[in-house]
Every structure is written in C-alpha cells, then in structure tokens.
Structure 1
Amino acid sequence: MSSRTLRALALAATALITATALTACGGDDKDAASASGSGSAEASAIRLGYFPNITHTPALLGVNKGFFQEALGSTKLEAKTFNAGPAAIEALFSGAIDATYIGPNPAINGWAQSKGEGLKIIAGSTSAGAGLVVKPGITTAAGLQGKKIATPQLGNTQDVALRAWLKENGLNADTQGGGDVSILPQDNATILQAFAQGAIDGAWVPEPYYSRLQLESGGKVLVDEKELWPGGQFVTTHLIVTQEFLKKYPGTVKKLLQGHLKALDYIKADNTGAQKAANDQLAALSGKPLKDNILAASFQNLTFTADPIASSLFTSAQHAQDVGLLKPVDLNGIYDLGPLNELLKAAGRPEVSDAAA
C-alpha cells in the first residue's frame, strides 16, 4: 500500500465510524507469519505511541523505567503521546509512528479503513476498568428513561458498550442524542465537570474517570462492565504495529515486546512501585498526577496482561454493528501473536490465543 494511500486512509479514520467504516477482508497472513518466525532484522529507531492515561500503564512504565530502551538496545525509542484513538491511527497510517498502545474500537476501525493491510495487534496490555456511574437515585436500567448519559466519544469503546447495554435492556438511543436515553459524547474532562454540576445524570467511562466520578462527585456504579464479560475480562488497551514495520523489522518488534513483558512483570512484582512510576510519568506528561486514592482505586479495577482477550474484540465489533455504528467487518487476520507467543513459550509461560471464542 502506498504512503499516499495510507495518508488518505489516516484522514478517513478520523471520521465517524457510522460514516466511514468499510467492509474489510482479512489480510494475507503469510508474510506476517514469516515475520514472526526466525527473522531478526532491526530498525535504527522505533516510534511508539501511547496515551497519558492510567489504562496505558505498561507503556507509562516502559518509558519511565526504561524497560523499552533496555530491551531495544541500540535501536532508539522515540515515544510520542496522543489523547485519542483516531489521532493515533492517523499518525500510524501517515508514517509518523510505527506502533502504538490503543483501545479496541480504534484498532477495529483502522483495520477496516485499511482493508486489513494497515496494522496488526501483537499483544494485550490492559483489561477491564470501565462502567456506568450514575446519580445515586438511579438504581435500574429503567431509571435511565429520559436521562442524559455521557460517553467519551461517539463510536468509541465505552460508547459502544453503553449503547449495546441499553439495547439489551429495551432502551434506545440515537446518534443525535435522542431516544429513550440521551447519549452525549464529550471528552472525559468535560464529563467530570458536567457530572459534578448536575448537567448529566451519569457516564460510561474508563479509569481513572470511572473512579473519579465515584470518589470525587458521589456517583454510584450502575454497571461494572467486567460483570458483563466472561471471567470479568475484556480488552481495554492493546499494542498494535504497522504491518510494514512488522515485516521489515521483526527483531525490533520482538524486542519491543520484551520491554512490554518486563513492564507487566514489574506491575506484578511491585504493584506499589508500579503505581508510583506510572503516576510520575503521568505528571511528567501532563503536570497532573492522580490523587493517591484515585490511583489505588484505578489499579484495583484494572488488570494488566499480555493476553489480548481476542474474543472480547470480536464481540465488541459485533456490538458496534448491532447498534449501527460499524458496518460488517471481517477481523480475520487482525492479530499476529507469533512474536509474543515465542517469548512466552521461551519463558515457560502459557501462550495466548487470537480465537474469536
């Protein structure tokens, strides 16, 4: 695929899913499969994207503690931050970055936009840590009738989750804010302010906003999203890379994954230290570290894992289709877990699956 085509796709990827998602066929995995074999080519540098958010903790630690650069050796790490999935996908497709931590729905949309040629999911990162927080007087789904509920962005992971849950409970909501429940997409900072001021009745958000709505504004949990998923696990953040970079530099991709696994190991070995290091990196990026109680609550609600929990990605895509936010898309081939599983196997750990169920 030409760089001009990818740039065009990058611009398209920032549009609403309802207007731009395309039916895509699974990519040919032969080249990717060979890349995840014995290839050892390495790049002089890798440009890695991530978000200044606690749901990207493995990336925060990888940068802050030097895990990535240590694993990469002579390959230079160039880390860049983004505040939204569409911007990260645009940067990926325009050639500004080679890999990024990102949520599931932007990855799905990017896969669809590139017709299965733009990216591969190579590892899981974060699971759970999201749900619907409402005013204390709302105790049932029926109690949401006529209420205003916010989500971070139309068609994003939490927006899809809310709309699918409402539909399952016999409530409808359109993309213009009408229906039984008025859904009002807005950025997370605005959600916090609007809820505190009583302008909205609740919000389906990820951490740390899930905990902040409760601890700072007295909100109550109506839906803890992990209760809707088998084993309480669903993908919140995973790691993707362009197919071009994966094919050209499999050695660098494997070393990036080594740094990623080291960050995950550090969280398990020293959870308190991991919280501090993640918060230090957040402070360095935004100047706004999380309060200790918010940080602790967020960590308690999140699970950090290399397992991409592939089945939840396929289910989330189906939910987006069911509520009219995504046209049918074939996700076959979106994963290349070969490099990750090689590392896991070598360490005597269980391998992970890309199965839809």
Structure 2
Amino acid sequence: MQSGGTSLRIVAGAVGGGAALVVRDGLDAPSDLDGATLATPQLGNTQDVALRTWLADHGLDTSPTGGGDVDVVPTDNARTLQLFTAGTIDGAWLPEPWASRLVLEAGAHVLVDEADLWPDGAFPTTVLVVGADFLAAHPDTVRALVAGNAASVDWIAAHPEEVADVVNARLAADAGAPLPEAVLARALAHVEPTVDPFAAALPVLQRHAAAVGTTTAGDLDGLLDLDPLGDVRAQGGLGPIDDAGLGGGPR
C-alpha cells in the first residue's frame, strides 16, 4: 500500500494455519488477560494483528506503542521462549513451531487456536512474493520458482512419513540444531503446506490491521498475480486458484 500497489505480487501460497495464543497456567478466559503482557513476533505481522483483534473483540484495549489493558510486546520468537520460561511474559500469539515449543518445553497451554477463528480453519501464514518489476522482467524465472514451490508442496503431501526427518535435517544444517521430535510432530500437525494463498482472507487481515492501528486502510487490488501458478497447475491437470478479485495488477 505504501508503494501504491507497485512493489510486489503474491504469486502463491506456501503454508496455511499453525498459529495460536499460548499462555501460562491460570489464564483460562479473555477476562484473565486484563493486565497481562503478551508477545508477538513483530508489530503488524499476522500474529500481532490476530492477537490485537481477538483482544479487541473481547473488550480489551491494546496500543501499537505499548500499554492498554493488555501490553503486547513484539519480540523475537527465540527471545519469547526465554522470557516465557523466565516468567517475564504471560504468553504469546505465535506461529509454529514456536507455539509447540512453549507448550511442550515451557508448560504453556493453548487459549486460542487461530484456526478456530477462520471459516474452515483456512488462513495464510506464509506466502510466496516477488517484486513486481522482477515479475515483469523475468516471467520465466518466476514461473520456475512457482513450479518449484508447488513441487515441494506436492512432495510433502506424498511423503508424510519423511517430512519430519527432511525438515529437521535442514534445520540442523541452517540453524545448528534440529527440533525435538515431539515439538516437530506437534508443529507439523497444525500447519498446511499449500499453494493456495487464501486470497479471500487478505482483505479481512487488512481491515483488522487498520482497525487495531498497525497500518492504514487501503486498496489491495492487484496484490496477487496467480497466472504463473495457474500455468503450473494446468500442466498437472489442476484448476486455477481463486485470487478473490485481487489479481491483474494495479487498477
């Protein structure tokens, strides 16, 4: 929105689902959170907006600058685990695998599974984006990227028994250590690898973000370009993914 619709395009989904509000013992209802301190990964990211929206729906005020009935503190996920373990924060709205880590490693419990707040439990957690200028200049490269993403999603669906080992091997190589098997198993059970960006959810997320003050209202027309994904799916005999009327470039 800052660029007037010229900066980037969502060209596919990657992961849906897998976010939750996890809290310490004794917090079992929205009213229990009055005066609590909760973490999110980043101011204005999808978990931050989800938490602030859910709190507002239950009559609890927050502020992007901190304070309010509930103090929401944007915090790096690894730091959130440390702060929760130390008792410095009362909980967090987190994506996987961090929600599972707080539950299994730090004794948190799930107060809200975000999937329960969306029709059919479907909402985007990770999407594949490219620069609009790059897409215009290198359509074949973008199509190959989309095809690779789709192939990865298909492989995961076809090899459920191998996914955990492959993911943990990559984590060990990139992050220096794998996840505990129980954490990874729980996390994978709550996420959905998918090429669907759940386009219909994006205007809802935008309205929520504007309502809680983390961004301004704006026009999302042209945010998606699912033509490369449509070409890839057509080659596999599959139909197009719905762009909810947000495709076609700026209008």
TM-score bracket, normalised by the shorter chain, equals: over 0.9
Work out which of the residue numbers 127, 142, 158 in structure 2 matches 1:238. 127
Give 1:277 shift.
1.4
Partner of 2:75: 186
TM-score of the two chains, using structure 1 as the length reference? 0.67
CA offset digits 1:174-205 (Å, max 9, x no partner): 12321111111111111101111111111101
Indicate the SS of the match to 2:214. coil
Q: Counterparts of 1:13-52 in structure 2 under 5 Å? A: none
Give 1:329 shift.
1.4
Work out which of the residue numbers 189, 192, 197 in structure 2 matches 1:308. 197
Give 1:265 shift.
0.9
Partner of 1:69: none
Q: Counterparts of 1:265-276 in structure 2 under 5 Å? A: 265-276=154-165
- Percentage of matched positions with identical amino acids: 46
Q: 1:334 to 1:214 in 2, by over 3 A?
A: same
Work out which of the residue numbers 292, 309, 312 in structure 1 matches 2:181. 292
Work out which of the residue numbers 252, 277, 286 in structure 1 matches 2:141. 252
Aligned residue identity for 1:221: V
Give 1:250 shift.
1.3
Q: Counterparts of 1:100-249 in structure 2 under 5 Å? A: 112-249=1-138
Gaps of 5+ in 2: 247-251
Give 1:356 shift.
6.0
Mapped to 2, the partners of 1:333 and 1:176 lie a distance apart of: 31
Q: 1:356 to 1:187 in 2, by over 3 A?
A: farther
Give 1:318 shift.
0.7
Q: 1:175 to 1:245 in 2, by over 3 A?
A: closer
Partner of 1:343: 232
Equivalent pair of 2:64/2:213 in contact (CA under 8 Å) = no
Supply the RMSD in Å over aligned alpha carbons.
Answer: 1.3
Mapped to 2, the partners of 1:178 and 1:259 lie a distance apart of: 44
CA offset digits 1:90-137 (Å, max 9, x no partner): xxxxxxxxxxxxxxxxxxxxxx22221111110001001001001121
TM-score of the two chains, using structure 2 as the length reference? 0.95
Aligned residue identity for 1:300: A
How many correspondences in the alignment?
A: 246
Mapped to 2, the partners of 1:295 and 1:148 lie a distance apart of: 27
Partner of 2:172: 283
Aligned residue identity for 2:113: D
Gaps of 5+ in 1: 1-111
Indicate the SS of the match to 1:254. helix
Which structure has greater helix proportion? 1
